[in-house]
Chain A
Amino acid sequence: MFAYNGVIILFTLLIALMASIMPMPLSVDVFRPDWVLIVLIYWCMALPGRVNIITAWVMGFLLDVLLGSVLGVHATAMAISIYIIVVNHQKIRNFSIWQQALITGVLAALYHLVVFWLQRFLIDVVFLTSYLYPVITTIILWPWVFYLLRKVRRNFSIK
Chain B
Amino acid sequence: MNPIFKHGPSPQHRLVLVLFCSALLIFFDHKMASFESVRGYLQSLVSPLQYLANTPKQLMTWASTNITTREQLMTENQQYRLNELGFHEQAMQLDILKQENERLRSLLASPLRSEIKKMVAEVISVDSDPYSHQIVINRGAGDGVYEGQPVLDALGIVGQILHIGQTSSRVILITDISHAVPVRVQRNGLRLLASGSGKIDRLIHNFVPQSADIKTGDLLVTSGLGGKYPEGYPVAKVSFVSDDESREFVRVFSTPVAKIDRLRYLLLLSEKEPQNIFAPKTRVKNLSTSVKVQAKAAN
Contact = CB atoms under 8 A, between A and B. Distances in A.
Interface stretch (A51-59, A103-111, A136-144): A51-59
Interface stretch (B19-27, B109-117, B211-219, B278-286): B19-27
A118 B26 contact: yes
A29 B21 CA distance: 30
A54 to B, nearest CB: 6
Interface in A1-40: 4, 14, 17-24, 26, 29-30, 32
Given A49-B2, A71-B26, A22 B53 contact: yes
Interface string A101-124: 000000000000001101100111
Q: Name which of B21, B22, B23, B29 has the most chain A CB atoms within 10 A of its CB.
A: B22
A159 B261 contact: no
Contacts of A80: 15, 19
Interface residues of A, number: 51
Contacts of A119: 131
Contacts of A125: 131, 177, 198
Contacts of B56: 22
A97 interface: no
Summarize A's interface: helix, strand, loop or mixed.
helix
Nearest to B199: A128
A69 B132 contact: yes
Contact of B128 (A32, A72, A122, A130): A32
The 5 closest A-B pairs by CB, nearest first: A72-B25, A72-B22, A76-B22, A72-B26, A67-B129
26 contacts: A21-B127, A22-B57, A29-B128, A30-B130, A53-B15, A54-B18, A57-B18, A57-B22, A62-B46, A65-B39, A65-B42, A66-B46, A68-B132, A69-B131, A71-B29, A72-B23, A72-B26, A79-B22, A80-B15, A80-B19, A87-B11, A118-B26, A125-B131, A125-B198, A126-B198, A130-B130
Interface of A: 4, 14, 17-24, 26, 29-30, 32, 48-49, 52-54, 57, 61-62, 65-73, 75-76, 79-80, 83, 86-87, 115-116, 118-119, 122-126, 128, 130-131, 159
Interface of B: 1-3, 6, 11, 14-15, 18-19, 21-26, 29-30, 35, 39, 42-43, 45-46, 49-50, 52-54, 56-57, 123, 125-132, 134, 136, 162-163, 170, 177-178, 198, 200, 261
